[in-house]
Amino acid sequence: MIQPYASRTGTKTTIAAMRAAGWGELVSPVQTYAAPPPLRYVIDNGAWSQFQCRLKWLETRDGPPPAEFDRDGFAALVEKWGADADWTALPDIVAGGIRSLAFSLDWMPWVLERTPVALLPVQDGMDPHHVEHLLGPRVGVFLGGSTEWKIGTMEQWGRLAARVGCHYHIARVNTADRIRRAQLCGAHSFDGTSVTLFAKTLGPLDGCRRQSTMFAVGG
């Protein structure tokens, strides 16, 4: 069954419901944490949130431009909680293609020393042949990128992950339709913000992810 993660919340009733349903948390350096995550968790690099902040800044030019990546925040988070995370997403550049891959590879040795599994973000402009030789039991695929590109390439990354035997995660999955797509493409996990923002969506989304499929890639 595909494993879901939701962005972190401090609402106790939502945390209890997520725990009962088997959902985990996605923690990120863009948030502040006073205590360890109460659920099983994974570590995001925060690049998407910072990318969104930068887009907003470009519209308004209000104040200084936000940093493209919080190196210190990410490093501190991995040092603190990386050992017990299910996996950690390597730093990347949203929609950055090969430039993003080079950035991720610079971080890979350091991250793999501190967490059990590192996921390599794949972005617009990247193809399976760019990363296949890098994947394996401890290095998997994190499908990010622009929404259109992500939807259009889900299946090819699922075939690759099934072929090499690595973990396959899809980011920003917030609807039943996206969950079904992720299942059909053979994803092992997904993350989203819907359950954190709207607790009432947990039931329908969890019900969807529990529906088995006979046609998943690699199934």
What's the CATH number where 125 sits? Answer: 3.20.20.60
pLDDT along the chain (219 residues), means of 10: 93 96 93 83 83 57 68 93 97 86 96 98 94 98 92 96 98 95 96 94 94 63
b/e for 17-55, b at 16 or more Cβ within 10 A? bbeebebbbbbbbbeeeeeebebbbbbbbbbbbbbebee
What integer pLDDT is reported at residue 59 of this predicted model? 65
Residue 214 belongs to a domain:
no
What integer pLDDT is reported at residue 10 of this predicted model? 86
Please check whether residue 10 is in contact with residue 26, taking contact to mean a CB–CB distance below 8 angstroms: no
Residue 82 belongs to a domain:
yes
What integer pLDDT is reported at residue 57 of this predicted model? 43
Q: Number of structural domains, the chain? A: 1
Residue carrying structure tokens 């930068």: 54
**Which tokens sit at 13?**
């009733």
Residue 63 belongs to a domain:
yes
Residue 134 belongs to a domain:
yes
Question: Element (H or E) spanning 109, and its range?
Answer: helix 97-112
Residue 217 belongs to a domain:
no
Residue 91 belongs to a domain:
yes
Residue 67 belongs to a domain:
yes
Segments forming the whole domain that contains residue 127 = 3-209
Residue 218 belongs to a domain:
no
